[in-house]
Amino acid sequence: MLLLSAAGAGGRVPARFQIDGGGGDSKHACSLLPRIIDSLSHVTAPLLELAAPDTGEAMASGGGGERKVVLITGCSSGIGLRIAVLLARDELQRYHVIATMRDLKKKDRLVEAAGDTFGKTLTLLPLDICSDDSVKKCIDSVKDRHIDVLINNAGVGLLGPVESISMNEMKKVFETNFFGTVRMIKEVMPDMKKRRGGHIIVMSSVMGLQGVVFNDVYTASKFAIEGFCESMAVQLLKFNVKLSLIEPGPVHTEFETKMMEEVSKMDFPGADPDTVRYFKDVYVPSSIDIFEAMGQTPDDIAKCTKKVIETSQPRFRNLTNNLYTPIVAMKYADETGGLSVQTFYHLLFNFGSLMHITMNILKCLTCSCLRRRTISPD
């Protein structure tokens, strides 16, 4: 088991219409199908237009030219730190950033990166998203509890054979990645609904869309938060509150380095020798290849997040890495799930050497601007 701090598509789901005529009259039902689909197209067309991203920028300041208040969780390093600094250094000074972290002793890196913005467009508050009292105290300390944009970035990763992971370790992941995020949303949502405005952003992952071997618990926590947000987004629209998911793939943070250091020291008790061997000798090398070929930087994710904030009609889902779009699309191309499961199985266990070669070719053929390409709201 490996427990690490971590910061962290497109594809249309195929629909199948199955009509039961009640008395088994399938021919009659089938004759109705074209008319039903035609009727649905008239209903969904205007909805799709409403859901389409708006290329215009939203005003990043409130009435009277006041800065938007942006509260970000998990700012001691990685993605959270880079988002906080990017917004605080906005040339037009449109944001007042409240950067938070559980342990203020880890503030030095953020303070150094913020430079002269610290104490001006960026302030720092302690926050433990796993504590009801800490969350309430933090939000209460904000003037009028007014938060325009909440960015839920804090999270933890859990990696390794599931047999070697205790239930308590699994619960810790869900307490942070799921319940911690829900706790933050619950605290700010009533005020946003009352004001009829606000934007909630959740740092999810491509693993919230596609399961990845040996990331079972982490993937489950991201699937959970994606489902929660998908449900909440519908309700929040009624109150003019936006909700957006940011879905990175591999990101070059301290996670990768720590993973390699820890894996070499672990025995993974409870897991059989074959599984441990597959993890150490097959998964880990493949994972490193993918990180090197397809990985983005925290700055890339920060820029993507800023674009989402500044779009007047932001997308609900924002996949940051275009190289992952085919992987996600493959999942939705087969409603049985067999295509993606079998494909990943063969890539990992039967064609590992081919995958290694492919990743190396990808590194050579794709320039850094493509590997690090972020989504654009337009």
The residue segments making up the domain with residue 273 are: 2-6+55-371
Look up the CATH number of the domain holding residue 90: 3.40.50.720
User: Is the residue at 24 inside a domain?
Assistant: no
**d(Cα 177, Cα 154) in Å, to the nearest integer?**
7
User: Is the residue at 39 inside a domain?
Assistant: no
User: Is the residue at 48 inside a domain?
Assistant: no
What confidence tens digit (pLDDT) does each residue in 132-142 have?
999 999 999 99
Residues 152, 187 contacting (CB under 8 angstroms)? no
**d(Cα 354, Cα 290) in Å, to the nearest integer?**
13
* HSE, side-chain direction, 13 A CA sphere, residue 79: 34
**d(Cα 66, Cα 70) in Å, to the nearest integer?**
12
User: Is the residue at 21 inside a domain?
Assistant: no
- What's the domain count of the chain? 1
Give the pLDDT of residue 19.
Answer: 30
* HSE, side-chain direction, 13 A CA sphere, residue 95: 26
Active-site residue flag, 218 = yes
- Reduced to 3 states (helix: H, G, I; strand: E, B; else coil), residue 230 is helix
Give the pLDDT of residue 229.
Answer: 98
pTM: 0.79
What confidence tens digit (pLDDT) does each residue in 279-311 have?
988 888 888 878 877 889 999 999 999 999 999
Question: What DSSP letter does each residue of 176-210 carry, written as one string?
Answer: IIIIIHHHHHHHHHHHHHHHT-EEEEEE--GGGTS
Q: Which residues pair with 208 in a beta bridge?
A: none
Report the 10 Å Cβ neighbour count for 102.
18
**d(Cα 112, Cα 115) in Å, to the nearest integer?**
5
Computed over its alpha carbons, how large is the radius of gyration of the chain? 22
**CA distances in angstroms from 117 to 21, 76, 112, 277, 292, listed in the order given:** 66, 16, 10, 49, 33
Give the pLDDT of residue 8.
Answer: 43
User: Is the residue at 27 inside a domain?
Assistant: no
**d(Cα 37, Cα 30) in Å, to the nearest integer?**
11
362: amino acid identity, one letter: L
Give the pLDDT of residue 352.
Answer: 54
Residues 74, 7 contacting (CB under 8 angstroms)? yes
- Which of 95, 218, 283, 324 does the annotation list as catalytic? 218
**d(Cα 155, Cα 340) in Å, to the nearest integer?**
26
User: Is the residue at 43 inside a domain?
Assistant: no
Counting as low any pLDDT under 50, the low residues of the chain are 5-37, 39-64, 359, 361-363, 365-366, 368-378
124: amino acid identity, one letter: L
Give the pLDDT of residue 96.
Answer: 98
User: Is the residue at 42 inside a domain?
Assistant: no
Give the pLDDT of residue 43.
Answer: 40
User: Is the residue at 172 inside a domain?
Assistant: yes
| Residue among 8, 359, 4 nearest 207 (CA) | 8
